[in-house]
Chains A and B, each alone.
Chain A
Amino acid sequence: MSFQEKSAWVMALALTVISIMCGWSVYKASVAAGGLVSPSIGLISSYTLVLVVIVVAGQVVISICSPKQASTPADEREIHIERKAGYTSGWIMGVGAVVSMSHYLHWNNGDMLFYMVLGSMALAAIVDYVYRIVLHRSAII
């Protein structure tokens, strides 16, 4: 497994776990409050901090395990994979943003707009890294 693929695994797993945890926290708080809770900077920043810590720790571990690969820049195939995955995730982010704005125009709910954009960002990032893994492992590029 190449360093780029290992890195994509770390990012995909970290993003998935943190996104689920964050979503679950918002869901629980909303159920307790009897309606959608407003976005909290404390909640978002704490999950962002945990994500950064997990990602940095993961990258450090895989760099220690394969120091030679870690210091080698991405080759032409890996750059191609990053571009292809980035293109797909860009579309997801774009569609998510349009759906979120459409929802806001119809319902005028700013809190939901925030969560939908945040969710789109998380989904786009997860798809980006998962697609990279798929391309690294099996697909024809």
Chain B
Amino acid sequence: MAKQLLITNSIKALREAHGEMTQSQLGEAVGVTRQTVAAIEQRRYSPSLETAFRIARVFDVSVNDVFEWDDK
């Protein structure tokens, strides 16, 4: 399995729960590219705090509901 960052996220689940929102739509809403959204989902990139808050705002949840620290 490819190396991943320690921060997990539930962006994919949240996208699916919000009317099958695409990565492109989410990227457009928060001001990043589709590739960056994909990298965040795959735990290959940790977004800035600002982008993390923007993502949480899109889904109307707190940052803690989107991102979590993975101790494993």
* Interface class of chain B by DSSP: loop
CA of A66 to CA of B36, assembled, Å: 17
Q: Which residues of A have CB within 8 Å of B31?
A: 75
* Shortest Cβ distance from A77 into B: residue: B36
| A140 is an interface residue with CB less than 8 A from chain B | yes
Q: Are B33 and A141 in contact (CB under 8 A)?
A: no
For residue A32, CB closer than 8 A to chain B, the reply is no
Nearest chain B CB to A25's CB is how many angstroms away? 38
Q: How far is the CB of A132 from chain B (nearest CB, A)?
A: 13
Quick one: which of B4, B35, B47, B51 has the most chain A CB within 10 A?
B35
| A140 to B3 alpha-carbon distance, docked (Å) | 8
Report how many residues on chain A are interfacial, defined by Cβ distance under 8 Å: 14
- In the complex, whether A2 has a CB less than 8 A from a CB of chain B is yes
For chain B residues 33-69, which have a beta carbon within 8 Å of chain A? 33-36, 39, 44-45, 47-48, 51
**Is there an interface contact between B35 and A76, defined as CB atoms closer than 8 Å?**
no
- Chain A residues lying within 8 Å of B35, measured Cβ to Cβ, are 1-2, 5, 77, 136
B5 proximal to A (CB < 8 A): yes
Chain B residues within 8 Å of A, Cβ to Cβ: 2-5, 31-36, 39, 44-45, 47-48, 51
